[in-house]
Amino acid sequence: MVAMTNSAAVLADAAAYAAAVEQASVAAAAYYATGESALDDDAYDRLARGIAAYEADHPEEVLAASPTGKVAGGAAVGDVPHTVPMLSLDNVFSAEQFATWTASLERRIGRPVTAWSVEPKLDGLAVAARYRDGRFERLITRGDGTAGEDVSHAAGAVVGLPERLAEPVTIEVRGEILMTNDQFDQGNATRTEHGGAPFANPRNGAAGTLRAKDRAYRVETTFFAYGALPLPDSGELGETLAELPHSEVLSYVAGLGVHTAAGTDVAPVLAATVEEVQVRVDAIGSLRAELPFGIDGIVIKADLAADQREAGSGTRAPRWAIAYKLPAVEKITRLLAVEWNVGRTGIIAPRAVLEPVEIDGSTVGYATLHNPADITRRDLRLGDQVMVYKAGDIIPRIEAPVVHLRTGDETPIDFPESCPQCGSGIDTSEQRWRCTRGRNCRLVASVSYAAGRDQLDIEGLGATRVVQLVDAGLVADFADLFTLEREQLLALDRMGETSTDNLLAAIETARTRPLSRVFCALGVRGTGRSMSRRIARYFATMDRIVAADVETLQRVDGIGKEKAAAVVAELVELAPLIDKLVAAGVTMTEPGATPPPEPGTEEEAAAGAGAEAVGGTGSTLPLAGMTVVVTGAMSGALEKLSRNQMNELIERAGGKSSSSVSQRTSLLVAGDKAGSKRTKAEDLGVRIAVPEEFAELVGAFLAAGEDT
């Protein structure tokens, strides 16, 4: 029998071992040929480690079909010989395993390695691109490491692989072909429009696209070079490349016009020590969820050519390079059901109920389904095996059904014919369906949200009290809160004079909240607390926000054309509510914000050319251009501020607030019990300030915000 643990498959006997080898062989063949494996990466890795462990204990029973000792992709045999074997990499899964590997390498070459190249392990397909006299000649897959398939027909749709190099050299560039997140979404849309099944994930999409011929449509992929070598008639270039450090080879390739990872947030870097390597490994891992393409680890290579030569290579992998694998962020599990939830703005959102699966350190039982059109486009069915993605704090999402695993027992997903919340009709004119009653469908939720701590902060107005006000006909939207009279409240159950006076006082205070809070209370779809602050600080007044067109709104940091159009449409719908708020005397200005320049002026041209897109006074702000993370318990002048208030303070002072520490972080404000975020900041060399230091840095803005 085969028992799966978090680290490896446990193979009880020879029969279990043979079954595991067969399962791994079939999965590898599908994975490298079409990307359609029945196992996700994590499951395959655990199976392979189990096979290796069994073989270590029973060397006399090793089967010829075993994946150990073979180049990854060995099942996908081709007929184009490689000039130099195209090997795969061995793996490590922890800092301890990496340290053991480096010690072994240094013993092998008899000296310390003084230069390590640390680069992302891209989640794609290894290929070799041959150029003769600077012109593209051939594109070949890795295959079994000695020969691969000719896929030159696909080169025209590969971004980053030029038809002609900057110099007329004869060279072979090796790298990975993958789909970026945008290419994956666009590719799936195009594929399903032409009647094809959606790709399960970007790697599946890249594999299928690379081998496809005579398609009626075009799907783009992207190439990233990770090395180069001379061809037999390369001349002096061969000798030059043989002596260059790996990092200089990559720079040379980039200079030829071939795409590398140098321009990304996870660009290759050089490290002098194992400790420096680990810092970079952690940094790349922390950026993983934000990248526009998939990675499943970090590749660490001895940079110097002499170290590589003396280390040599085995039959499967070079001894001078290793893949440091990251925890899996994709798993295959079963779609059990779909729930239809109605949000406070009336949006009807589907949510997938999954057979629980552990991904990236947490158990996932639910996942995002964007809208009914997305369900239809992906052809999702109840009972499907689906590929689920989750990384860090990202909400889990279903990427696609694993179509080749269907049994025929799957059933269509039923869409609601009326609003699941109130039974009213559904507006299906846009991709995101909405109850025809809009916000009124979830009036209690809408008013409760507006009154919440991070919006108008009306103390004493909880959901129970809002239900009373709605049921009594006193409130049809949150603007009606500002016209409530004492006698009306006293007539409600459990509303005495003290509670009534306290609530009216809280409402009166809410009337003076800054524009950013009021705009957030509107609950404009596609905006939240941070975006509301940026919009308010850019426009300074509600009048200017309402008057803004799509082009003007795009000047706000983080708002693209699509979101701008949605905000403009939403504000038209909200115009009556905004008018009621104005009539009630609610604040419609943002303290300290500078209005944008008038259209057609020189000042406007300067703003469009790069002035700060969040309003304010630009470089005079103490946190201008800085990304700030807050962690731990605040003290001193910051002690009473909520996290949202801290974020408001950061943005008033010109900075950008973030919840996670990465290489992009400029400053960590670390209070008591700061924990892992402080440790990561120390490892990355991020500046750290205690609350008192930070309060002094932003003192003027702290004082200005005390009343908001």
Question: Of 482, 510, 538, at which residue does a domain stop?
Answer: 510
Residue 118 pLDDT: 97
CATH number of the domain at 405, please: 2.40.50.140
Residue 66 lies in a domain: no
Domain end (from 575, 608, 641): 608
Residues marked as catalytic = 121
User: Are 231 and 295 members of one domain?
Assistant: yes
The sign one gets for the Cα dihedral 358, 359, 360, 364 is negative
Q: Are residues 219 and 305 in the same domain?
A: yes
Output the pLDDT for position 463.
87
Question: How are beta strands 667-670 and 627-631 bridged, if at all?
Answer: parallel
pLDDT at 607: 46
Domain extent at residue 117: 80-325
Q: What is the mean pLDDT of each run of 10 residues along the chain (708 residues)?
A: 57 80 74 62 76 82 74 62 92 93 96 96 94 95 90 93 95 96 89 82 87 86 96 86 94 96 93 94 87 93 96 92 90 94 90 91 88 88 92 80 89 95 91 88 91 91 91 93 94 91 95 94 87 91 94 88 89 93 94 73 47 44 89 88 85 83 88 84 89 89 60
Domain with residue 265: its CATH number is 3.30.470.30
Q: Domain check: are 135 and 152 in the same one?
A: yes
Task: Please state, in angstroms and rounded to a whole number, the distance separating the CA atoms of residues 142 and 131.
Answer: 17
Tell me, yes or no, whether 495 lies in a domain: yes
Indicate if 315 and 192 belong to the same structural domain.
yes
- Would you state the pLDDT for residue 469? 94
613 domain-assigned: no
Query: Is 55 part of any domain?
Result: yes
pLDDT at residue 254, rounded to an integer = 95
Per-residue model confidence as pLDDT tens digits over 546-572 = 999 999 999 988 888 888 998 998 999
Q: Are residues 350 and 446 in the same domain?
A: no
Phi/psi of residue 308, each to 5°?
-65, -45
Q: What pLDDT is recorded for position 362?
A: 81
Look at residues 584, 608, 632 and tell me which one is the last residue of a structural domain.
Answer: 608
Within this chain, do residues 225 and 116 fall inside the same structural domain, yes or no? yes
| The predicted structure's pLDDT at residue 318 | 95
Residue 698 lies in a domain: yes
> Rounded CA gap, 480 and 579, in Å?
12
Is residue 487 domain-shared with residue 632, that is, in the same domain? no
User: Is 604 inside a domain boundary?
Assistant: yes
622 and 585 in one domain?
no
Q: Is residue 427 in a domain?
A: no
21 and 90 assigned to the same domain = no
Is 646 a member of any domain? Answer: yes
Instruction: Tell how many helices (H) and how many strands (E) occur in the chain.
Output: 24, 27
What pLDDT, on a 0 to 100 scale, did the predictor assign at position 71? Answer: 60
Can you tell me the distance from the alpha carbon of 8 to that of 606, in angstroms, rounded to the nearest whole number? 59
Same domain (yes/no): 53, 181: no
- CATH number (domain holding residue 483): 1.10.150.20
**DSSP characters for 396-455?**
PEEEEE-GGG--S--EEPPPPSS-TTT---EE-SSSS-EETTGGGGGHHHHHHHHHSTTT
Tokens of 319: 């001894």
Same domain for 195 and 157, yes or no, is: yes
**Per the structure, how many domains does the chain have?**
6
Q: Are residues 553 and 653 in the same domain?
A: no
What CATH number does the domain containing 664 carry?
Answer: 3.40.50.10190
